[in-house]
Amino acid sequence: MIVTLHLLALVLYGVATVLSVAPFVGGRPAPRALLLGVPSAGAAFHVAALAQLPLVGLAPAVSMLALCFVILQVLSERTLKASAVALFTGPLAAGLTGVALLIGVGPESQYAVARDTWLVAHVALSFLGLALLALAFFTAALYLLQFRELKSKKFGQVFQLFPPLAQLDRLNLVALGAGFPILTLGVLLAIGYAIRFAGGVEIAKAQAVWGAFTWVVLGWAVWVRHVRHWGGRRAAFASIAGFAAVLLVYVALKLTVPGTARFL
């Protein structure tokens, strides 16, 4: 059942991606009801699948990250009509769901402790915070691409489908502003869980280092936006640099600490 639900979600995410990409390759724009309904239906199947899974291990974690991207895609479309965000989130959600299926998403009895409410909340909030950082990166990339086209005075037809620069900057601000407290709560839940089960739960050092680094980077991005009042191109470059740093540290830890049981 878990695999079937993931497959249904994957198919719907693929359809949603095709619908989102169609206008950018010369096709007709899909009705907004489909742009919202198709990924929402996929997310519903996805939630039903994750409800039956422990959230420890590579496959469930990848699956959770895919769901976070879809949720942000739907929210971006619903609140700001930012369909261009789906150019990034759609393929990522479909690809990550496919990867989770290839790895294997069957329940594992040895991870039964992962059904603890604290740990489930920690994983969900942490991945949502990470997905919001990624969303800030996507909007920053779209901002810089569109800004470059406007400056060169060669504003192609494809870019007319992008949200206005002010809207992309606003979405970047919201993504960072929401991501930091969500990730902070996820980190606090992890600390509380470790204290609650002190001596009984092994916390991967690489995971702790990466989580702390991600929190610091996201905090810095929020600080330069809300305290230093960075906006526009400077804010876009800050979001891209922050996300790139998080990704590079992840790769470095993955290569230098192989085989860590609970690190992605």
DSSP assignment of 214-230: HHHHHHHHHHHHHTS--
Sign of the alpha-carbon torsion through 11, 13, 19, 23: negative
Count of domains for the chain: 2
Residue whose structure tokens are 């400077």: 234
The predicted structure's pLDDT at residue 108? 52
The predicted structure's pLDDT at residue 56? 62
Residues 87, 174 within the same domain: no
What parts of the chain have a pLDDT lower than 70? 54-57, 82, 106-118, 153-161, 193-204, 257-264
Note whether 168 and 146 are within 8 A (CB).
Answer: yes
The predicted structure's pLDDT at residue 220? 93
Sign of the alpha-carbon torsion through 257, 259, 263, 264: positive
Residues 127, 253 within the same domain: yes
- C-beta neighbour count of 21 within 10 angstroms: 15
Last residue of a domain, one of 79, 114, 149: 114
pLDDT in tens, 207-224: 778 888 888 999 999 999
Counting beta carbons within 10 angstroms of the beta carbon of residue 54, is it exposed (0 to 12), middle (13 to 18) or buried (19 or more)?
buried
Residues 129, 210 within the same domain: yes
Residues 150, 92 within the same domain: no
Last residue of a domain, one of 114, 146, 164: 114
The predicted structure's pLDDT at residue 161? 66
Residues 96, 122 within the same domain: no
Residues 140, 259 within the same domain: yes
> Minimal CA–CA distance to 126: which of 184, 53, 51, 59?
184
Last residue of a domain, one of 114, 136, 151: 114
Domain that holds residue 85: 1-114
pLDDT in tens, 101-110: 887 776 553 4
Distance (Å, whole) CA 10 – CA 175? 25
The predicted structure's pLDDT at residue 112? 44
Distance (Å, whole) CA 264 – CA 55? 12
Residues 58, 156 within the same domain: no
Residues 256, 158 within the same domain: yes
